[in-house]
Amino acid sequence: MSGFLLFLLFKKQDSVSHYRDLFLLVFFIVAPGASIWSIFVTAMWWG
């Protein structure tokens, strides 16, 4: 959901349109890793 909202934000702003693809690429590379790390930490906390 946040990736879609990020895309809509960049779609409205012309000044960052040339960086949009870079930001989306970084977002979709970092987000899955952060989610997996969060699930791992939660599982370790639960025992």
Counted domains in the chain = 1
Its pTM stands at 0.53
pLDDT digits (tens, 9 = 90+) for 20-33: 777 778 788 888 99
Residue-range definition of the domain harbouring residue 33: 2-46
pLDDT digits (tens, 9 = 90+) for 1-47: 676 777 777 677 665 566 777 777 878 888 899 999 999 999 999 98
CA–CA distance, 47 with 13 (Å, rounded to integer): 46
